[in-house]
Amino acid sequence: MTKQELIENIKRKKSFLCIGLDTDLKKIPEHLKREDDPVFAFNKAIIDATADYCIAYKPNIAFYEYNGLKGLTSLYKTVDYIKKNYPDQFIIADAKRGDIGNTSEMYANAFLKEMDVDAITVAPYMGEDSVTPFLKYDGKWVILLALTSNKGAQDFQFQEDENGEWLFEKVLKISQKWGTDENMMYVVGATQEKMFGYIRKIVPEHFLLVPGIGAQGGSLEEVCKYGLNDCCGLIINSSRAIIYADRSEQFAVRAAEEAALIRDEMKNYLSQKGII
């Protein structure tokens, strides 16, 4: 998907919500556990109920690897289902991969060609040749970790160099030589809300993928206040607060209600910003 297509989807659907498919067998409603593939059944119901309110889905690969071969099958089926039925959805493999060049090439092929998702999250620690193999696929995106939403972000990402620059700043600056705002985005956690204004000065045009609202406690309002740019520039993820809003047979309806609430709030921010 091109940047222009993504922006058009955001304007048309008045939403920049991404729903995280962190599907955990232990947390899905009891009645689904009788299905052949309970994870896929859950995902399908969530997707059908929420597709009007979001512009992206983000399966978290760990939750599928957890279930071994069966998990990988559920993942492929989920991606195929979205692609076939909701081709305007941007699909992000939240995999946080990254390795030496010949190995990153294998990961890139696995996710961006064979699984054929639109984007993959990548860890920056190993530098340029660990990231660029993911940038060789037309219409596909690298979403590079910059400033993450977890407590451990403090351990290394805020390390200052001799000029007072933080490590995550260096990641933002140096990686801009590797790709463009047409094929790279950055992960910036919603819990880092105070940093959005600062980050926007470094990457004014890039889309930011923002996890951490909902269960992790970040504020949508604050993130939008400092993070929105003239083309929106934000994809905001919520996982647990939507998909586990309810554990009864009404789970999908309740997930849709939660997603609609966030969409309504997003619609206001897009309107205030003059984007729609």
Q: Which residues are catalytic, by number?
A: 96
Q: Closest separation between CB of residue 255 and its own copies, Å?
A: 19
Helix axes 3-13, 251-272, angle to 10 degrees: 100
DSSP 182-214: TTEEEEE-GGGGGGHHHHHHHSSSS-EEE--BG
153 binds its own copies, rule: CB under 8 A: yes
Helix axes 38-50, 68-85, angle to 10 degrees: 30
Nearer of residues 162 and 274 to its own copies, judged by Cβ:
162
Residue 2 and residue 21: Cα distance in Å, rounded?
23
126 binds its own copies, rule: CB under 8 A: yes
Residues 69-108 binding its own copies (CB under 8 A) are: 69, 72-73, 76, 94, 96-104, 106-107
Amino acid at the residue 1: M
128 binds its own copies, rule: CB under 8 A: yes
218 binds its own copies, rule: CB under 8 A: no
The residues, any chain, with a CB within 8 Å of residue 204's CB and separated by 6 or more, are: 229
167 binds its own copies, rule: CB under 8 A: yes
Residue 46 and residue 89: Cα distance in Å, rounded?
14
226 binds its own copies, rule: CB under 8 A: no
Contact positions vs its own copies (CB under 8 A): 22, 24, 60, 62-63, 65-66, 68-69, 72-73, 76, 94, 96-104, 106-107, 109-110, 114-115, 123-131, 145, 148-157, 159-162, 164, 167, 170-171, 174, 211, 216
